[in-house]
Amino acid sequence: MDRRAKIFVAGHRGLVGSAIMRRLQQDGYDHLLTCSRAELDLRDQQAVTQYFQHEKPEYVFLAAAKVGGIQANDSYPAQFIYDNLAIQTHILHAAYTYGVNKLLFLGSSCIYPKFAPQPMKEEHLLTGILEPTNEPYAIAKIAGIKMCEAYNKQYGTDFLSVMPTNLYGINDNFDLQQSHVLPALIRKFHEAKVNDQPSVEIWGTGTPRREFLYADDLADACVYLMQHADRKQIDGFVNIGTGQDIAIRELAELIQRIVQYEGHLVFNTDKPDGTPRKWLDVSRMEKLGWTAKTSLEDGVRKTYEWYMKHAVHKEQLSCSDS
């Protein structure tokens, strides 16, 4: 990507989009196109078409999506499938229509079957049933992968698809009703410490294993691929992760130590565990020349520091306003 190229980062305020913005700015890219949800509703096909027609971006990072944890996915399945299908469909077609040089579509490791072999390889896609609690979201992301492949095949576009593992980091969502497990645990432990609560409840048994990638590492990988890879090298899509996983109980204990909370952990086994294990095979990405750099402990520390400086203050303001 030329430093003067027009680059559209869809979803620039989210966890992934904001990390991509930081990475691009760090590398000296200064012609970055962004729009807030109020300025451009990506679910509106006409609005997206007009935006691409007017701005003519040369590169696109498609990081915009409706995301959430088990509870959010289970509570709002219609919104998860509709919003994500609409967003990615409109952007992908507009990118083709207005001649975008290269596009990178971000999916999710939940595309893999619930009982996929571990670690999960790219060829395991569509080889079994999905985890029911996030099936609508997963189906939308699978459709995005296949749409990229179809446009590459029929129109010769250069649309890349990447499937990151579970993400966390700066600008994460710490809302207990909407967030994923890692930011939710950070908030739970922090509030329990501040309020001197004797215990913290954790959903499920604590035995499922998950892999976690610091969002700035993902951003580094995405920019690396846009600079050094094309659709032929990726051959469908590529996993992005650390190649290491951890049990939810161990994750909780790690966060407990970093937050310095001294109470007890209580596992609510009436709540769902979700997929037993989600561990990505990242050998294809390693062959392309990239590996993750941030350890889980360092990433959690950085995330907690950011939470203390930014998210806690916002929550206090919200409480005072109500």
Output phi, psi for 251, to 5 deg: -60, -45
Residue 2 lies in a domain: no
| % of residues, the chain, pLDDT over 70 | 97
- The answer to whether the annotation marks 169 as part of a ligand binding site is no
Please give the pLDDT value at position 313: 58
- The answer to whether the annotation marks 40 as part of a ligand binding site is no
- The answer to whether the annotation marks 22 as part of a ligand binding site is no
More confident of the two residues 103 and 276:
103
Please give the pLDDT value at position 16: 96
Output phi, psi for 169, to 5 deg: 145, -160
Kindly indicate the confidence band of residue 20, based on its pLDDT and cuts at 50, 70 and 90: very high
Residue 26 lies in a domain: yes
Please give the pLDDT value at position 135: 95
Per-range mean pLDDT, top range of 107-116, 176-185, 271-280: 107-116
Give the domain CATH number at 193: 3.40.50.720
Residue 234 lies in a domain: yes
- The answer to whether the annotation marks 107 as part of a ligand binding site is yes
DSSP 109-148: GGGS-TT--SSBPGGGTTSSPPPGGGHHHHHHHHHHHHHH
Please give the pLDDT value at position 318: 43
Whether the CB-CB separation of 239 and 282 falls below 8 Å is answered with: yes
- The answer to whether the annotation marks 166 as part of a ligand binding site is yes
pLDDT higher than 70, residue 2: yes
Identity of the amino acid at 236 = G
137 in catalytic set: yes
Residue 43 lies in a domain: yes
Average pLDDT over residues 211-240: 96
Residues 72-114 have pLDDT tens digits of: 888 899 999 999 999 999 999 999 999 999 999 999 999 999 9
pLDDT higher than 80, residue 317: no
Residues 118-141 have pLDDT tens digits of: 999 999 999 999 989 889 999 999
More confident of the two residues 143 and 276:
143
Residue 103 lies in a domain: yes
Catalytic residue chosen out of the listed positions 59, 137, 168, 261: 137
Full domain range(s) for residue 114:
7-321
Whether the CB-CB separation of 175 and 239 falls below 8 Å is answered with: no
Residue 253 lies in a domain: yes
Query: How would you write 214-229 as a 3-class SS string?
Result: EHHHHHHHHHHHHHHC
Whether the CB-CB separation of 62 and 33 falls below 8 Å is answered with: no
The SS3 assignment for 156 reads coil
Number of domains in the chain: 1
How many angstroms separate the CA atoms of 142 and 222, rounded? 19
How many angstroms separate the CA atoms of 219 and 79, rounded? 26
Residue 54 lies in a domain: yes
| % of residues, the chain, pLDDT over 90 | 84
Residue 312 lies in a domain: yes
Output phi, psi for 64, to 5 deg: -75, 135
Kindly indicate the confidence band of residue 314, based on its pLDDT and cuts at 50, 70 and 90: low
For helices 181-194 and 248-259, what crossing angle results, to 10°?
Answer: 40
Cis peptide before 119 (omega within 30 of 0): yes
* Per-residue tokens: 321: 């306003």
Kindly indicate the confidence band of residue 257, based on its pLDDT and cuts at 50, 70 and 90: very high
Please give the pLDDT value at position 316: 47
Average pLDDT over residues 153-160: 98
Please give the pLDDT value at position 145: 98
Q: State the average pLDDT for the chain.
A: 93
Identity of the amino acid at 134 = N
